[in-house]
Structure 1
Amino acid sequence: MITFAFQTSILLALFALIEPQQVAVDPVFEVTSPTNERTYPPNQRLYVTIKLHTQTQISAEGTQSTPQATSTRASTCVHIDSHDTPSWCGEVLSDATPSHETVYLSGYQTAALGEGAHALTLRGDPRTLYIFTIEQPTMEISSFGSPAASDDGASSLSVSLTLRNVNPHNPYDYCLLVDFIPTCFPLTATSEQTVNIKSLPRKIKTVISPAIIDRTSNKVVHFGKIYNLVSDADAASSNSVNPFQLYIDDIDTHLKPNPRNRNQTHTHAHSASQKCKDAALTVPMSWPSIACALPTLEWGMYSQNGEDGVLLFLLLWVFGYEEIKDVKYLEFGAEDGGEVNTRLLRELGATGVLFDRSYENPKINLFKHAITPSNINNLLTAHSSTDINVLSVDIDFNDYHVLKAMVDGGVLNLDGLKIIICEYNSHLDPTEKKTVPYSADPGRGWDGKSRYFGASLGAFVDLLGPKGFRLVHCDGNGVNAFFVNRAKIEAGWQDDEFFTTEEIFRPPNFYNKGWSYPDKVGENVWQYT
């Protein structure tokens, strides 16, 4: 006698022959970056973009139909060349899910690979083999012509350049940094080129250097030798020419205003506002002309974003430093000191101190300390950092609390402090004044995955405003805010606020790719200041 259970099993087997079966197959990955069309400079991030096409094979009675995507994620590892140790391992999401943050190799990893061709493969997918090339483009000044005087009291200068490893597929701007202000020009040759700089600022000493800037990230991929050009102008005429004329005067009739944040998700709202249209580029400079131009001055060689260009400009043109080596700085949250806001100052001869909870290096005055509100003022005294000109704060969580302890502590000389750079939480409404509550627990810091960290821009404005510091700029990636000492800038500049906090604020646009962080799951407590 055939049992009911046996009859059921036969029926299920028959239905199985009729219904299509889904048989999982190996994931299929596609690498869209890097590519073999362009070259990648050492000492810069190498972004690796991986797409997932995981499919299932549908079969019925021995026939095959079109594969259909079913899985949304798969794990893999990125291997470079024949290295057994992967450069990155993690989960890749499919096209059907929200975009996964592109992974990248740090500048240290890329530089360690060396120049030349390299192979990229993915674990679990033997079909992926991508060849990319690391190559350093260079642009050096081979000679200067004789300066020619112009009717407006300025001078023009002919500069001959020698370029190497220039790839037309690279999204680079070729520029001369005149007093650290980028003056960019179209590329007309791959080896020799002559450029004429018009309206050269007549300073006692004009600094000029060639630079190649990646417009997709505002990162300097090449920084040439710095030349000091001594003019016969006297000190009284040192600001007789507005340096921003370098942006609106053509170089050989080709140069146009050239802000490099072309691929940003969020544009610089105030750079195109009616306020800036009404604020003519006056001679001598006015505060409105500076405020309108700061977004176009962003470029970074060692900073994470475009902070290098803004910082050097403020020091040179707003505070009038003839020698960067006279600047004293302090930065904490510096990690190993490689990618920080003050490294370019250090490379140009400035001196200062770096703090980090995990790294130390006496050669660059990097000291290992876990910074807290209770110990920061003692550390300032112990490391002779009470009299500084530039302060940079980036500790990813307790920034507001530590900075408040510094400006309220009575140890830091606020009169001598010219510029404060602090990381703000650009996910928060700039009109709100709130911060994460202080936590002394190391495990309570930023989790590296969510938008629960730091403080709002409004909280920092509320803290530093009464201390005499004015918000002047937020970088285009929505990471760092710049404050200047109102008492130390020229009379007339500090009287007119010109822009509100909301107008200066920039939303998240991390790595100039429109990235941001999601809300933190679970506890998410804020403290209003």
Structure 2
Amino acid sequence: MRPNSIAELDIWQRQVASATPNNPALQGWNSYSQCDEDGIIRECLGRIASVAQLSNTFIEIGCANGLENNTHQLLLDGFKGCWVDGDEGNVRHIESELGTLTCPVLTTRHAFVDLDNNQPLMKEFSEVLGTDNIDFFSFDTDGNDAYLVTDALRVIRPKLICVEYNGKFPPPTRLTINYNATHQWAYDDFYGATLQSWVDILKPLGYRLVSCNLSGVNAFFVRDDVAGAFPDYTIEQLFQPCRYWLIGITGHQHTLKWLRQVVDKSLEKGVSPG
């Protein structure tokens, strides 16, 4: 992330603090996430832990090569989980760096997720993690996310969900691409769903919008039964427009070396998931 981007993040945080003073986005920072998601995730899970017991588990669909995603930091913090990515090269990189795709703290799968394999993957991961009541579910495939998240929630009941939204269109615009199992993002504005559409989709399923990150890419929803630690702001108050220039890497070059240590220790101890 460029130095001027860091300064700009501070400006936007101050504006958020004025409009929504208890917004989890105020606690944003990144170690391995694209922008400020790592801090938002930690803040949200901390609040959830004040009203419910955590299982310290996660599932991330669209983990990339492990160097930039929403759950790498959780693994370093003692969580266990499952990664999926549709790019075989990304999965090969993870296997090369970690020495394995299956260990007590992390299970990684190569799969282009669609409505045919989505639920089987969720069932497999629920068994691996020993629960369907996972703490965190992150989903980012740049396309059919609205359909696949809805489908996944027939199998799992995460406490916190992070989804990518199309920040070009503020509420109340409702847009969702038609389902297409072979959809590939063309690096244009035709992808995913708008924030209003996500709220319309997830609210009937028992989830409430609690934050959007400052780059205007990711939205965070919590399950209604653990939402007591979050203020009830409107979608208009929480919406952040796309600021893609805020996305970038801070500090030293990312590696999987810290995670390799965690993986190796888990293999030495033989700790079983769940």
Band the TM-score falls in, shorter-chain normalisation: 0.7 to 0.9
- Aligned residue for 2:142? 396
Q: In 2 relative to 1, CA 342–321 (structure 1 residues): closer, same or farther, beyond 3 Å?
A: farther
Offset at 1:339?
0.8
The residue correspondences of 1:85-484 to structure 2 (distance < 5 A) are 171=3, 216-217=5-6, 261-262=9-10, 269-273=15-19, 290-291=22-23, 294-320=24-50, 326-358=55-87, 359-360=90-91, 361=95, 362=101, 364-383=106-125, 384=127, 386-407=132-153, 409=154, 411-412=155-156, 414=157, 417-441=158-182, 444-448=183-187, 450-484=188-222
Kept in 2: contact 1:389–1:418 (CA 8 A): yes
Q: In 2 relative to 1, CA 317–440 (structure 1 residues): closer, same or farther, beyond 3 Å?
A: closer
Kept in 2: contact 1:422–1:480 (CA 8 A): yes
Q: One-letter code of the match for 1:439? A: N
SS at 1:387 equivalent: coil
Q: One-letter code of the match for 1:375? A: N
- Aligned residue for 1:161? none
Kept in 2: contact 1:476–1:509 (CA 8 A): yes
Comparing both chains, which one has the higher relative contact order based on Cα–Cα distances under 8 Å and sequence gaps of 6 or more? Answer: 2
Q: Which runs of 5+ in 1 are unaligned?
A: 1-44, 48-170, 172-214, 219-259, 277-288, 514-529
Q: One-letter code of the match for 2:226? A: K
Q: Distance in 1 between matches of 2:69 and 2:51?
A: 21
Q: Distance in 2 between matches of 1:344 and 1:511?
A: 22
What's the TM-score once normalised by structure 1's chain length? 0.40
Identity %: 27
Q: Which runs of 5+ in 2 are unaligned?
A: 96-100, 248-274
TM-align CA RMSD: 2.6
Q: In 2 relative to 1, CA 366–295 (structure 1 residues): closer, same or farther, beyond 3 Å?
A: same
For the pair shown, which has the larger CA radius of gyration, 1 or 2? 1
Offset at 1:389?
1.2
Q: Distance in 2 between matches of 1:506 and 1:268?
A: 14
Q: Distance in 2 between matches of 1:322 and 1:308?
A: 20
Offset at 1:370?
0.8
- Aligned residue for 1:24? none
Q: One-letter code of the match for 2:30? A: G
Kept in 2: contact 1:297–1:309 (CA 8 A): yes
Q: In 2 relative to 1, CA 298–505 (structure 1 residues): closer, same or farther, beyond 3 Å?
A: same
Kept in 1: contact 2:170–2:239 (CA 8 A): no
Offset at 1:270?
4.5
Offset at 1:263?
5.7
Q: Cα deviation per residue 1:224-260 (whole Å; 9 max; x = unaligned)?
A: xxxxxxxxxxxxxxxxxxxxxxxxxxxxxxxxxxxx7
Q: Distance in 2 between matches of 1:313 and 1:471?
A: 15
SS at 1:392 equivalent: strand
Offset at 1:403?
0.8
Q: Cα deviation per residue 1:284-307 (whole Å; 9 max; x = unaligned)?
A: xxxxx533xx23211010111101
Kept in 2: contact 1:299–1:307 (CA 8 A): yes
Q: Distance in 1 between matches of 2:124 and 2:56?
A: 19
Kept in 2: contact 1:316–1:322 (CA 8 A): no
Offset at 1:400?
0.8
Kept in 2: contact 1:354–1:365 (CA 8 A): yes
Q: Distance in 2 between matches of 1:502 and 1:297?
A: 20
What's the TM-score once normalised by structure 2's chain length? 0.75
- Aligned residue for 1:509? 243
Q: In 2 relative to 1, CA 481–377 (structure 1 residues): closer, same or farther, beyond 3 Å?
A: same
Q: Distance in 1 between matches of 2:36 and 2:53?
A: 21
